[in-house]
Amino acid sequence: MEGFIDMSDSQELSRRQRNQLNHRRLAGYTLVWLVSLALVYFGHRYLWDGSALVTTAMVGINIIAGIAMMMANKKLLAGLDELEQKVQLEAMALALGVGLVGGFAYSALSQTGILPFHAEISHLAVFIALTYLVAMVKGVKKYQ
């Protein structure tokens, strides 16, 4: 996974190669972030016997991986052309708005005991991700 490791500038590459490299890099860091997050939960329970110190350290590693993932995403966005950036911006704006409004509404329903189940942050993450995906598809179709 050369793109994941190589953080050097890739001006000499073609646009397609540069985008592929940036996508691979983002996928790599996303995988590391997800695995490190899963390891926090799994390890806390099964590997280091609930040690607060180790769990805190693992959360620190998870945050570092998350920052690397965000930087990779920033680099990916910077490498896109202006229409692609516009489609991304519109999709992210919608996902953020829907996530914010939906998240607070979901939280309110949960806090007031109206929801018959416990509200989880993962539900919100899935909701935001699905909104982003639908907005991306609509955005791409809009400019075809």
- Give the interface with another protein as residue ranges (CB under 8 A): 14-15, 81-84, 86, 140, 142-144
**3: nearest Cα among 66, 129, 18, 102:** 18
Instruction: Closer to another protein by CB, 15 or 45: give it.
Output: 15
Q: From the CB of 143, what's the least distance to another protein, in Å?
A: 4
Instruction: Give min distance, CB of 120 to another protein, in A.
Output: 37
The string of DSSP codes covering 103-135 is HHHHHHHHHTT-SSS---HHHHHHHHHHHHHHH
Q: Which is nearer to another protein, 118 or 141 (CB)?
A: 141
Selection from 129, 104, 134, 133 nearest residue 119 by Cα: 104
Nearer CB in complex with another protein: 46/143: 143
To another protein, the closest distance from the beta carbon of 79 in angstroms equals: 10
Residue tagged 């202006």 (tokens): 82
Q: Which amino acid is at 49?
A: D
Residue with smaller CB distance to another protein, 44 or 86: 86
Interatomic CA distance for residues 128 and 138, integer angstroms:
15
Minimum Å gap between C-beta 83 and another protein is 4
